[in-house]
Amino acid sequence: MPAANQNPITHQELTQKTPAGQSLSPQTVLTDDTHTTGFFEAAGLPLPQQGITLQQYLHQLEEELLEDLGIDREDLVTQLACYLDHMKTLQAGNQLKVSSVTIAGGQNKKGEPEKVTVTIHQGEIVCIVGPTGSGKSRLLADIEWMAQGDTPTKRHIFINGQVPDKSWRFSLEHKLVAQLSQNMNFIMDLSVSEFIEMHAESRMIPKPEVAAKVKEITEQANALAGEMFYWDTPVTALSGGQSRALMIADTAFLSTSPIVLIDEIENAGIDRKKALDLLVSREKIILMSTHDPVLALMGSKRLVLRHGAIQKVVTTTVQEQQNIAPLQQLDELMLSYRHRLRSGETIDEIDLSQLMGR
């Protein structure tokens, strides 16, 4: 049995360190349920004996061990409370199966009614198109925040046909929606692998599997981006396109969020089709704002925005799906000229023979 510590934390202090709303108290009995076990293991602490209270456990911890780990008892309680809270949120998110998202119209920028209700089902990609400033990003933001008539558009968003639970809307931990926005500026001083490890940890990925995730995500992100980056590259040194590629691979392999919102992936200069394939294979609901015809036709339908409202819902026809291939050829041709420009060549002739010969 470890020696009792000289400065036992008081009952009052312990209670103060326990965040409000958490069911952790000094008298909480530490059972061998997987969550507390996982926490103590990850922290490098001895597993508590069966039936012991949190306070008794803390008193038993050796001072030397805590010093080695660089943690004191008060921080430990705060961290355990946050960890249990996080587990609870994750479990709630995982248990919730999102089979549909419904957008119920509100009003346009002039206050006129938006007479549309659209339901998007699991596994569907829906595109959002419209002129600059027509409200595409606003629509994505409404979904992200699960608007309930409380945004400028007055839209309502329903999950599985119902008003979403308040905790999903306002909790920082709400995991229903992953957002890949246009600006992916990293401010943290982390390497690519540290960044992925941090995400893997917060997703409760078992420690032995984390290294494989880092490798897989780095490889997949590199397959989307242009110039290679490595696991030890600082995230702040990634280009805009590389950052987005990393976030896309990270979302595809680590995020459990059933809804993914993508804002103008085409501006990132990454392989758009590969990126979509990665995300779609995870059976998510995808909403993507785009100006790109190839991407727009990959969706099952597209929402056409104008003056801040959904003006029209267009279902992609079979003919349009067949038109993706020639549009992609055009795209590749443009891309080849872009590469030539980038590598300092001149463009004196345009060769359209490949297109004509299709």
Ligand X SMILES: Nc1ncnc2c1ncn2[C@@H]1O[C@H](COP(=O)(O)OP(=O)(O)OP(=O)(O)O)[C@@H](O)[C@H]1O
Rank residues 134 and 242 by Cβ distance to ligand X and give the closer one: 134
Q: Is 290 a binder of ligand X (CB under 6 A)?
A: no
Q: Is 156 a binder of ligand X (CB under 6 A)?
A: no
Measured distance CA(279)–CA(242) in Å, rounded: 16
> Judged by CB under 6 A, how many residues of this single chain contact ligand X?
15
Residue 234: strand, helix, or coil: strand
Amino acid at 253: F
Smallest separation (angstroms) from ligand X to the CB of 104: 13
Q: Is 196 a binder of ligand X (CB under 6 A)?
A: no
Output b/e per residue, 2-25; b: 16+ Cβ within 10 A.
eeebeeebeeeebeebbeeebebe
- For the record, the structure tokens of 309 come out as 């409202």
Q: Is 308 a binder of ligand X (CB under 6 A)?
A: yes
- For the record, the structure tokens of 322 come out as 């067949």
Smallest separation (angstroms) from ligand X to the CB of 109: 4
Q: Is 295 a binder of ligand X (CB under 6 A)?
A: no
Q: Is 241 a binder of ligand X (CB under 6 A)?
A: no
Rank residues 156 and 175 by Cβ distance to ligand X and give the closer one: 156
Smallest separation (angstroms) from ligand X to the CB of 299: 16
Q: Which residues contact 31 (CB under 8 A, 6 or more apart)?
A: 50
- C-alpha torsion angle, residues 192, 193, 198, 203 (rounded to 10): 110
Binding test (CB under 6 A) with ligand X, winner from 28, 36, 55, 134: 134
Residue whose CB is nearest to ligand X in the complex, by number: 308
Cβ burial of 226 (10 Å; 0-12, 13-18, 19+) is: middle
Rank residues 135 and 241 by Cβ distance to ligand X and give the closer one: 135
Q: Is 292 a binder of ligand X (CB under 6 A)?
A: no
Eight-class DSSP state of 237? G
**Site stretch for ligand X (CB under 6 A), options 55-63, 128-136, 187-195, 225-233:** 128-136
Binding test (CB under 6 A) with ligand X, winner from 73, 138, 174, 175: 138
Residue 258: strand, helix, or coil: coil
Q: Which of 75, 74, 79, 81 is nearest to 21 (CA)?
A: 81
Q: Is 274 a binder of ligand X (CB under 6 A)?
A: no
